Structure formats: C-alpha cells, structure tokens
Structure 1
Amino acid sequence: MPDPWLRDAIAAINADFTRSADTHLVPVPLHALPQIKLYIKDESTHVTGSLKHRLARSLFLYALCNGWITRDTPVIEASSGSTAISEAYYARLLGLRFIAVVARSTSPEKLRRITQYGGECVLVDDPRQDRAHARALAAELGGHFMDQFTFAERATDWRGNNNIAESVFKQLADEPHPCPRWIVCGAGTGGTAATFGRYIRYRSYATEVCVVDPERSVFYEYFRTGEAGASPPGGSGVEGIGRPQVEPSFMPELVDHMIR
C-alpha cells in the first residue's frame, strides 16, 4: 500500500494543476509578411511566472512515483533559474527542503523568486560544474538530485497529459492553419524539443521542429556533426537556453533543423 504521505503529495500536485488555467497562445501580426501566421506560447503566465513550470510538475511526479522523494527528502537541482523557481514552488507545496545550484551570474530576480518560494541558492562560479556540485550535495545531505537535464525528456508524458505540445495543437484547432509548418523553440535541457518531436510523430502531423541555439552552446554543433566540441567558459550568455555540454535530454534525431 502506498505511503499516505505519497498519496497526499501526488493529490496536492494534481489539485494545484486542476485549479490552474492553461497558458495563452498569442497571435502576433506580421504586417510586412502577411502570408505568415506567427503564434507565441506564453509560458510566463504560469503561477510562478516560470517558463519551466510544466517541467517542474512532471519532474516532481516522476520522482515521487519512482520512490525517489519521500516526506523527509531534500530536493536539489542544477538550474539556470527558471526550473528552480517552479521546483521551489512545488517543494514548498509538499513541505520539502529545496536547494538550487545556480551559476553566480544568474539574475538577482531569479534568485529572489527561488527564495520567495522557500528555496535555498548555492552559487557556483563555473556553470559547467553545476550538475556535479548538485549531485555531490544530494549525496552529502541524503537528498534527491532532480537532474532536469537527464530526466526532462522522459518525465514529461509526450503522448499528452497537457504537455506543451498537446496544449499548442489544441489551441490551434480553430485557427486558419491548425497544423503549423514549424514549431520553433530553444534548448536548455532539450526536453521541449523532444516533447514536440515525439508528439508530432505520434499524431502523424506534417509539422517540423526547429531549435535555436545561442553562441557558446554546444547543441548546434552536436546536431550538425555529432561532435559536441569544447565550449568556452561563462555559459551561453542567454539564461535558460544553451549548454556547455550536450545534455542527455537533447535528442537531435527529433529535431528537423537548427539555427545558431
């Protein structure tokens, strides 16, 4: 029989989801290019204001159902800030300690929002070491390293369950072009691109996925050549997208095109 705490924790997350509205899909007029219809999915309207709120929910449910998080488990994450904000929110909802390992260059506003939800911040000078530091901290505290960069692509139910791909296509249903030619996104973990790529194949849509990668990130070169190459220190310069190493959740076989 499941632990009553586990049952209550999952129920609390599901209740939070039920009382939350979906995010808007906003049409953007392009007067100079009237033949193109552009829509922006505004994930900033989640309750935390974080673009990674769906991912945080999925990661918590995945860890809970795998038995990795119990009533006394500290939760540790390596993040550029956005995922940690929402994970701090869910940790507070469940009464759990949450620690975010973030680069020292992370914006003060993101750090403030993590602590606003009861999270703690550990700053590292080299963002290439964030995962190693988080893993070591979890081992030291007897906690769980959430590891969004590994589990983003598998924690999300890519067939549906209100993932971002299902949400976008439902919201496009009554538009002039309900099946878009392109979905364009960035890559931090790679999970969003993987979810879109899988969902599009699952539904047999003709849509293709384009990922935009900033300078000083390795994803583009890995997609083009299969080799990650060396990334200069200091990160991509764009919080939330681009990484100094290829992450396990980045799946180039699900991406049709990339732009740097």
Structure 2
Amino acid sequence: MSWSTRALDALAAGPPTRLIDFPVRVPGVRLLLKDESGQPTGSLRHRHARALFRRAVLDGSITEGTTVVEATGGNAAVAQAWFARRLGLPYVVVMPGAPDPARARAVEALGGECRFVTPPLAIYDAAMEAAGQVGGHYLDQFGRAAPHDLAEELFAQVRPDWVVTGAATGATSATLGAVAGEHGCRVAVADPDNSAYFPGWTLDVPDYATGMPSRIEGVGRPRVEPGFRPDLVDLVVPVPDAASVAAARRIREVTGLPVGGSSGTALWAALELAGRMRARGESGTIVSLVGDAAERHLATYHDDAWAAGKGLDVAGRLTELRQRV
C-alpha cells in the first residue's frame, strides 16, 4: 500500500458530532446546536484541517516526509498539528505576536513547532518563506479554503430551515451553501464587530477590508477571505461583541460547555432568525454551530474582568438572553 493511500485512510472522517436541543421561547421554532467540540481536537477546525490535508495529499503537494507549514493560531494550529502527527509529517506554524509559551504548548505537545512573528499580518509571508526554505508545503487555509464534510453529515441528521455559522475562512458557509438549497435550507453567516463580512456582503464588495482586529476569535476577519462565497449565503447577520460573549455564557449555563465567542456569535444570530420567523408566522428548525469548547475560554469570554477590560457590557445582554432562551 502506498504512503498516499495510507494517508487518505488516516484522513477518513470519524463519527458524526451530536445535535443538542436548545430551549427557545418561540412557538413553532426548534433550535439545535451542532456540537463541533466533540471533534478529536475539540473544534470545527478539525474538519477544515482534514479537508486541507486530504486535498494536498490527493494533488501531490504533500507526500511522505513533507514539512507542512501554516500561518494561523488557536484551534486551527492544534487541528493541523494533530493531523500532521497522524501522518508522520513535520509541522511548523507561524503565529502572530510575541513568543508565548502558553499559546504554543498545545501544538508542541503534538510534535509541532511554533514560530512567532510581528506585525501580525507578516505571518503569511513568513510561512511561505519557511515552506520554501525546507521545500515544504504551505497549507494556506485562507487562500485554499477547502470544502469539508459538515454539510453531508448535518443533512443526514436533520432537515433544518436555517443553519447559522461564522465566516472565518469562508469554507464552512461555502460548504453548507453549496448543497443547502437541495435540502430546503438557507445559510446565515453571523459576523461580529470589526469583521469585514457583513459590510462586504451588504455593499457587494468582494475584497472589503476593515483592517481592524476582531475580539471574537475564530470568526471575525479584518478582510473578506478568498474562500468566502457570498453567492452561496442567504443572509449575513451583524452581532455586537457583547452579545456574542453573553450568548457564549448562556450556552455554558444551559449545556455546561465552556464555548468560545464564535459559538455565541452564531447563537445570537440564530435567535435573531427565530424572532424574524415568529414575526412572519413561520415555524421550522434552526441549527447553530458550536465551533469549540475549551477550559481556556473560562479566562476570557466567561470572565467578567476580561470582558470589562475589552469594554464589553455583557450583563444586560445576558439578562435579555435568559428571557429568550
């Protein structure tokens, strides 16, 4: 058996993640959370990483012994390091900012190497340079955002009227949007403050950029990424950061999952959709994605001091949520 065949076997999809019924006080509307924290590396980025590796193996960009390089941080880096170790490949990730042992720890525990670069936008050139120096492959999750298997799995579990996700690389909304219509479903993208997707979608400017960092890790982007397909999205819902944080806390109150802000962004947008459905006298099912859940979020999105330091007034939004869900 060739290395590429063994690699593709190792990149096969695992069991489906669960759907959680989430209480919502809108008659006729059912709200479900698709819990991607159940992935082996704890986040939706696991699907993204698998898709990137599969495509690179299939087109010959990754072969036995290839050093894999990426410019990213957080969940994406952990997921990619996990797959690199599974395939026996060296992995190097270029992260933005000053050296931070805490941020590097999870990747290094999987055998990966972390390099830190400033300013933040220099990580892309640094990653390309690092790949060139060793004859490796630069995954480029934003430039080569790969469709993954979420849509196939989700629509085998349930037939929703809406599915809500954040944008980030654009791969998830594109994956869902490509087939949603076949299942009578529409796709909404939830977009936090300072992110480029809502203004870019509204103004029909495909390369729109805010140039501003997002406080909501994992979904907000300072530019519209190449993988985003506005033609496959039915709606983009802007979500205030305080609402994203409050919704993340509400998910934890109901389910016990210490989710990140991206999950809160999606939930708030899903509730906005539920309200619109009620106003139109509609009934149906909404699925909102839980991007990840991790103890590290307890020190940020679930911490009052962190929120205050970011200038976020979460209390009022949380009170509102408790009355709605």
Normalized against structure 1, the TM-score is what? Answer: 0.83
Amino acid across the alignment from 2:8: I
Give yes or no for the alignment of 1:249 onto 2:243: no
CA distance in 1, matches of 2:203, 2:105: 39
Give yes or no for the alignment of 1:167 onto 2:179: no
SS in 2 for 1:37: strand
Give the equivalent residue in structure 1 for 2:190: 212
Give yes or no for the alignment of 1:36 onto 2:29: yes
Give yes or no for the alignment of 1:88 onto 2:84: no
CA distance in 1, matches of 2:81, 2:192: 27
Structure scoring higher RCO (CA < 8 A, sep ≥ 6) equals: 2
Give the equivalent residue in structure 2 for 1:160: none
Trace 1:20-59 onto structure 2 (pairs within 5 A). 20-30=14-24, 32-59=25-52
Give the equivalent residue in structure 1 for 2:11: 13
CA distance in 2, matches of 1:215, 1:126: 22
How many residues align structurally? Answer: 237
CA distance in 1, matches of 2:17, 2:81: 20
CA distance in 2, matches of 1:252, 1:106: 36
CA distance in 2, matches of 1:107, 1:43: 26
Gaps of 5+ in 2: 239-325
Give the equivalent residue in structure 1 for 2:91: 98
Give yes or no for the alignment of 1:156 onto 2:136: no
CA distance in 1, matches of 2:49, 2:208: 30
Moved more, 38-47 or 73-82: 73-82
Identity of aligned residues (%): 39
Find 2:203's aligned residue among 222, 225, 240.
Answer: 225
Q: Is the 8 A contact 1:69 1:144 kept in 2?
A: yes
SS in 2 for 1:113: helix
Report deviation, 1:207.
1.5
Inter-CA distance 132–220: structure 2 relative to 1 (3 Å threshold): farther
Give the equivalent residue in structure 1 for 2:121: 128
Report deviation, 1:182.
1.3
SS in 2 for 1:57: helix
Report deviation, 1:24.
0.7
CA distance in 2, matches of 1:199, 1:107: 41
Gaps of 5+ in 1: 158-162, 173-178
Q: Is the 8 A contact 1:214 1:236 kept in 2?
A: yes
CA distance in 1, matches of 2:78, 2:187: 27
Inter-CA distance 65–118: structure 2 relative to 1 (3 Å threshold): same
From the CA coordinates, give the structure whose radius of gyration is larger: 2
Amino acid across the alignment from 1:156: P
Q: Is the 8 A contact 1:185 1:212 kept in 2?
A: yes
Report deviation, 1:11.
2.5
Report deviation, 1:252.
0.6
CA deviation profile, 1:218-252 (whole Å, cap 9, x unmatched): 1111111123444234x211111121222110111
Report deviation, 1:108.
6.8
Q: Is the 8 A contact 1:85 1:110 kept in 2?
A: no
Inter-CA distance 108–245: structure 2 relative to 1 (3 Å threshold): farther
Give yes or no for the alignment of 1:188 onto 2:182: no
Give the equivalent residue in structure 1 for 2:214: 236
Amino acid across the alignment from 2:147: T
